Amino acid sequence: MTRPPVHTIRMGFVKANIWRNETRHGVRHQVTLIRLFKNGDLWQESTRFGRDDLPLASKVLELAHEWIFFHSQESEEDE
């Protein structure tokens, strides 16, 4: 059984999933970045980005960083 991401950020066809991992050193987050595209009638995902995708990918990653930073501080305050 796979757990869903704790948060998803999507802008256009670029999406970042944020995953929460409990470790012996505390909570750690990881991010997967994908680009959505349509192949015929089916939506698919790719981890490859073209030149014109990069500005949007950069913005999505920046927002993911901010989300993780904010929620990491919340976790530290709860302890």
Is 30 a member of any domain?
yes
Is 2 a member of any domain?
no
Give the pTM: 0.85
Say if CB 18 and CB 42 are below 8 A apart: no
pLDDT of residue 72: 85
| Count of residues in the chain | 79
Is 65 a member of any domain?
yes
pLDDT of residue 25: 87
Is 1 a member of any domain?
no
Is 24 a member of any domain?
yes
What residues of the chain score a pLDDT lower than 70?
74-79
Domain span holding position 52? 7-78
CA angle at 12 for the pair 2 and 14, rounded to the nearest 5°: 45
How many domains, the chain?
A: 1
